[in-house]
């Protein structure tokens, strides 16, 4: 099993985390403060780090920053533990490079599920890289990834400050010649059934969790398309070309494969109701009619139109049929270029589509960013 490092100054919380992970079969190291935890990460190279946010000395954000700046351990998946439920704290951790977070108190099952999901995602990426990438390509993509990540983090921080501290001045109709559409099946089960068995609060919290992830990565607009959540990412004059596609892809990676209903309802939720989220990424021209506050756009605040919306809906149906967690259209792959790591590919012929493009729709399983 995996080698996991737990960094937590609270003795009881640390004991609980170590026990939960040890019983799951993992080898667990523990540190009582951030400085010790960072040193152990550098010497032991754990497969995953579970780190508290509020600690004396180096706090969780400082440990995360030091981890990401060290090339030998920069790719280590990180779960932050926080008792600060405010969204600003969640955004701060995700912006700093955390892969997931848990709010204390958390159950053993929640911690084990979060760890298992990140380890599985890391294994998929590592296996694909070992099988398909030659050393020169790895070196080139590492350099590109470093440059893109550095530029992205600065721009994302500026965007978050703008988006969450002041409402956008723009209103009315906006046309995006090329925008990225992320269509998300958050619930996996009809709202009526979920609400009758778990309550509307669980449905609302599951959708809010998915919305928060999209906002963190700079979605311009969010709205509900039936029971599916749609996010629109668009470049503007302050951003480089294709930045919207990269942000949408990162948001998809942060959400796909998680179980939003389980996050909202807790371990008591029946397994048949806690489906994994599925995300499809598509690109095309979009027109947005802003009806309300652009800072917190909801289903009643923005009206979206464009052929890419219906096409994304068809692609998400295809994604679910194929059993994929994420899928990309050909248009989206043109935006991502060589940064996309792909799996299988399939095509819906034009005669299988109602109102789709004449040439049909081709989708590829999206596994991650190289």
pLDDT at residue 164, rounded to an integer: 52
Q: Is 115 in the same domain as 143?
A: no
| Residues 108 and 146 both lie in one domain | no
Same domain, residue pair 195 and 282: yes
What integer pLDDT is reported at residue 298 of this predicted model? 45
- Same domain flag for 213 and 338: yes
Residues 18, 159 within the same domain: no
Number of structural domains (the chain) is 2
Same structural domain, 261 and 173: yes
- What CATH number does the domain containing 275 carry? 3.30.70.1230
- Distance in Å from the first CA to the final CA of the chain: 25
Q: Which of 106, 132, 158 is the last residue of a domain?
A: 132
Domain that holds residue 189: 137-369
The CA-CA-CA angle for residues 94, 334, 313, to 5°, reads: 75
- Looking at residue 97, what is its pLDDT? 80
Q: What is the pLDDT of residue 105?
A: 82
Same domain, 149 and 76: no
Backbone angles phi, psi at 156, to 5 degrees: -65, -40
Residues 173 and 283 grouped into a single domain: yes
Q: What is the pTM of this model?
A: 0.50
Same domain, 248 and 331: yes
Boundary (domain end) residue, out of 132, 158, 181:
132
Pair (87, 197) in one structural domain: no
Which residues sit opposite 363 in a β-bridge? Answer: 329, 346
In the block, residue with structure tokens 């919380």: 13
Q: Are residues 266 and 165 in the same domain?
A: yes
Regions of the chain with pLDDT less than 50: 166-170, 294-295, 297-300
How many residues does the structure list for the chain?
A: 370
Q: Give the tens place of pLDDT for each residue, 185-243.
A: 887 777 777 767 777 777 788 888 888 889 889 898 888 888 889 999 987 655 555 68
Q: Which of 132, 157, 173 is the last residue of a domain?
A: 132
Say yes or no: 30 and 171 in one domain.
no
CA distance 212 to 92: 12
CATH code of the domain covering residue 41? 3.40.50.2300
The CA distances from residue 350 to 260, 344, 353, in Å, are 34, 20, 5
């Amino acid at each position: 099993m995996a080698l996991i490092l737990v960094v937590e100054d609270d003795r009881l919380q640390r004991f609980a985390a170590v026990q939960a992970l040890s019983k799951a079969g993992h080898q667990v190291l523990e540190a009582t403060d951030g400085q010790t935890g960072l040193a152990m990460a550098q010497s032991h190279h754990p497969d995953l780090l579970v780190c508290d946010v509020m600690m004396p000395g180096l706090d969780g954000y400082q440990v995360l920053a030091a981890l990401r700046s060290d090339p030998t351990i920069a790719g280590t998946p990180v779960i932050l533990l926080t008792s600060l439920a405010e969204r600003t704290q969640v955004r701060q951790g995700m912006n700093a490079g955390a892969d997931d977070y848990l709010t204390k108190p958390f159950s053993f099952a929640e911690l084990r599920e979060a760890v298992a999901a990140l380890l599985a995602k890391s294994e998929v990426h590592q296996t694909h890289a070992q099988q398909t990438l030659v050393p020169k390509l790895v070196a080139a993509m590492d350099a590109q990834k470093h440059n893109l990540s550095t530029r992205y983090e600065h721009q994302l921080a500026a965007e978050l400050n703008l988006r969450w501290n002041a409402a956008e001045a723009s209103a009315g109709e906006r046309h995006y010649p090329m925008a990225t559409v992320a269509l998300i099946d958050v619930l996996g089960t009809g709202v009526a059934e979920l609400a009758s068995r778990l309550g509307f609060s669980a449905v609302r919290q599951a959708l809010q969790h998915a919305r928060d992830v999209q906002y963190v990565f700079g979605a311009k607009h969010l709205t509900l398309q039936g029971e599916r959540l749609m996010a629109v990412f668009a470049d503007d004059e302050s951003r480089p070309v294709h930045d919207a596609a990269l942000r949408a892809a990162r948001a998809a990676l942060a959400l796909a494969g998680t179980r939003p209903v389980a996050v909202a309802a807790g371990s008591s939720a029946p397994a048949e109701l806690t489906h994994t989220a599925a995300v499809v990424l598509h690109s095309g021209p979009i027109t947005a009619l802003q009806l309300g506050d652009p800072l917190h756009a909801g289903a009643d605040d923005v009206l979206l139109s464009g052929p890419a919306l219906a096409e994304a809906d068809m692609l998400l149906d295809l994604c679910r049929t194929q059993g994929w967690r994420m899928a990309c259209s050909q248009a989206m792959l043109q935006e991502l270029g060589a940064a996309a790591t792909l799996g299988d590919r399939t095509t819906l012929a034009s005669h299988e589509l109602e109102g789709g493009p004449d040439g049909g729709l081709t989708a590829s399983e999206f596994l991650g960013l190289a």
